Structure 1
């Protein structure tokens, strides 16, 4: 693939990842759908679309879903939805992304990886950015929603680490989505008294599951093998920025100075860890 086309595909692949935040926030803010129903419709429509993609490829590939990964996927999707009852799209995306990266770094350390002084400084900067965002004040996000989004990021971090080397990513993701369906059905059953679904809210949930999740992941996995690991990691730093821009343009959300400073700290700190890791590997 030519470099210009690869750059274009990579940039385009970030939009569906960002659009999940826009769709979820818009649905829970502007329609009658409840968070549990949004989660269930998203996961069910995502499972259907992913298995359609598996069927259309028509090739026998290795890989299948598993229950631990399915529970991590469900935990991410459910906490993501409930968090967006109170968070803006931009704040939610920053908390999610920061928690994902910190979790993956932490799991790497547990597995034997080591950080040098520059990387430790990067982790401290990113963590400080998250703490600064959550400190009490007029522009602080609601604590309950923030903690749920951090939990969603931790679940997605675990899911991502578990998925490395598990086989064909589309087939594995399809299997995990399918296994998550009965779990999310139980969530909807337990919250049956609060069920509220309208056509627009359901449409947002289907779009989030079938388009920005299933097709978005498929596009990302199409691009990912052609990128260096560092490039793949650093390009994802753009997602919270894209979400913030879309939040202003599409949802009319404000951007506060606290959010700008926290974003600079979190994204800058993570970038230090990623780039330093690549530099160290280049010396070996």
Structure 2
């Protein structure tokens, strides 16, 4: 048995780790910027998306150049170019994400976001006619119970406004993810979807310009969130999922709230409450049971 890891698997592992850190980084960057009032939510959203557009366009152009050079042929006119619905969902995710982090700690926000993403995708699966087995229903009940426990009256309860906004953000990202599952060119689709957020960015800035609050530190954090954690992070994630099964891709994302919570402690001086720890185990454990439950049942029924 060869103790050296297969190069392809190693690349997938490294790409997955980077992508998860990038996803968690979005929460940390946003919380640092908005929690310290270094920038307003609208400006953060606009700079984040514009930075993501710039990076993704550069990546797309480089990919086209390499592809054309390798094939010595013209690119097809039928390249993927995303959709306006996906662009709107991307913008809705980003703007509600920013406004939610005005009042949420890093770990709580990431838990609500990724919990809502998974639950949205599960509900879509159910509405599409896929029936859940008993293990999966058990996971759903545990996960929902974790959310209920998280928002019970307590000193550590997140603000209801922040909770609702982050839930909307998670639903939007879940719908965006489902819509993009069948795309043939993820990088191209993502770049064009980002570009389609431009009209929504203009409307947002026109509506909020009078309340703009911009500092150099806030702008830098927004650029890092958009260029590195979003633009490069999403591109690397699309590379990673080519080497992961659907179950693996869903399961590893459950690490993001934990990484984000650690980031909040290290960089934002936040305190992880007992309620957050218990709720995290319930939500993430429930979703993990749901994700792995079907794989287990399918394997035992074969």
| Pairwise TM-score range, normalised by the shorter structure | over 0.9
Contact 1:67 1:179 in 2 (8 A): yes
Residue 251 in 1 paired to residue 271 in 2?
A: no
User: Alpha-carbon deviation of 1:279?
Assistant: 2.0
What residue ranges of structure 1 are gaps of 5+ in the alignment?
none
Contact 1:64 1:167 in 2 (8 A): no
Task: State how 1:17-96 maps to structure 2 within 5 Å.
Answer: 17-58=23-64, 59=67, 60=75, 62-96=79-113
Contact 1:84 1:145 in 2 (8 A): yes
Q: Tell me the distance in 1 between the aligned counterparts of 2:298 and 2:12.
A: 24
Instruction: Give 1:163's match in structure 2, choosing from 180, 200, 210.
Output: 180
Per-residue CA deviations over 1:12-33 (Å, capped at 9, x if unaligned) read: 3210010000000001122431
Provide TM-score, normalisation by structure 1: 0.97
Tell me which residue corresponds to 1:189.
206
Provide TM-score, normalisation by structure 2: 0.91
Q: Tell me the distance in 1 between the aligned counterparts of 2:297 and 2:246.
A: 13
User: Alpha-carbon deviation of 1:9?
Assistant: 3.1
Q: Tell me the distance in 2 between the aligned counterparts of 1:280 and 1:142.
A: 39
Instruction: Give 2:119's match in structure 1, choosing from 94, 97, 102.
Output: 102
Residue 275 of structure 1 aligns to a residue whose secondary structure is helix
Tell me which residue corresponds to 1:6.
12
Residue 121 in 1 paired to residue 132 in 2?
A: no
Cα RMSD after superposing both structures: 1.3
Tell me which residue corresponds to 2:71.
none
Instruction: Give 1:174's match in structure 2, choosing from 191, 203, 209.
Output: 191
Residue 17 of structure 2 aligns to a residue whose secondary structure is helix
Tell me which residue corresponds to 1:15.
21
Q: Tell me the distance in 1 between the aligned counterparts of 2:57 and 2:264.
A: 31
**Structure of greater Rg:** 2
Instruction: Give 2:147's match in structure 1, choosing from 121, 124, 130.
Output: 130
